[in-house]
Amino acid sequence: MTIEIKNLTKIYGTQKALDNVSLTASQGEIVGLLGPNGAGKSTMMKIITCFIPPTQGEVKVCGFDIFEEPMQIRSLIGYLPEQNPLYLDLYVRESLDFIASIHKLKGKEKKQRVEQMIELVGLTKEMNKKIGALSKGYRQRVGLAQAMIHDPKVLILDEPTTGLDPNQLVEIRQIIKQMGRQKTVLLSTHIMQEVEAVCSRAIIINNGQLVADDTVEHLSQGGSLEKKFREITLM
């Protein structure tokens, strides 16, 4: 298993953001993480990526423990948080070159990887612009390119299609599906159609607890995934 989570709990003061959650995800899986606002989705992603520690529980990524080997985990993960952090004064190519350097890519390899990411996420026409001059949709593309530039084994994407127009949605979903053939992808979204279009499996979290974990096909039986989601989260 690429991601292994056992009895994960996170408490902020008196509030349980996550309550005894256990799940796994494997290479080649694209897993949709669903839940109402405040359900604990972003908290789980921040724990997996070693941004914040859990209160209790175990998390391993590619066999590495978040407490004992956080640097190894960070090198294996590409993370696009909900609030996409970008250096707005940098040009697109300059920004990707900088992020590639952080991941210790050098010379010809770095140049090739930057070019690949620009083409992959559709930034060719925008690559000589400052990020601050880009639309929200194109800024999302820059964030996605930064998350993938070091060819990570795991992609953690928190609301990756926020701000995209319908045409961009289709393109980015195709990119995620393509990357998911070789990687483990965990993405959160409020768009049920996105999960149905991209994910093979869906996990639903409500009030910090895991309330469903099954294939999208099975969860959609007898209606739509959105209908099943409403039934579960309103119980």
Tell me the CA end-to-end span of the chain in Å, nearest whole number: 31
According to DSSP, residue 190 is labeled S
CA–CA distance, 147 with 8 (Å, rounded to integer): 25
Residue type (1 letter), 158: D
Q: Which residues of 139-174 are buried (b: 16+ CB within 10 A; e: fewer)?
A: bbbbbbbbbbbbebebbbbbbbbbebeeebbebbbe
CA 87 to chain centre: 20
Q: Per-domain residue ranges for the chain?
A: 3-22+40-189, 198-235
Q: Which two tokens stand for residue 201?
A: 């499996």
In CATH, the number for domain 3-22+40-189 is: 3.40.50.300
- With a cut of 70, say whether residue 18 has pLDDT above it: yes
Q: What does the pLDDT look like over 211-226, one tens digit per residue? A: 999 999 888 876 778 7
205 φ, ψ to 5°?
-115, 135
CA 56 to chain centre: 23
Q: Are 230 and 221 in contact (CB under 8 A)?
A: no
CA–CA distance, 159 with 81 (Å, rounded to integer): 8
Residue 188: per-residue pLDDT: 92
CA 63 to chain centre: 19
CA-wise closest residue to 135 among 97, 79, 86: 86
Q: What does the pLDDT look like over 163-213, one tens digit per residue? A: 778 888 888 888 899 888 889 999 998 888 888 889 999 999 999 999 999
Q: Which two tokens stand for residue 46?
A: 């921040």
- The arithmetic mean of pLDDT across residues 26-35, rounded, is 94
Alpha helices by DSSP H, the chain: 41-48, 70-76, 92-102, 107-120, 136-148, 166-180, 192-198, 216-219, 225-233
Residue 83: per-residue pLDDT: 84
Give the predicted TM-score (pTM) of the model.
Answer: 0.91
Q: What does the pLDDT look like over 117-129, one tens digit per residue? A: 999 888 999 999 9
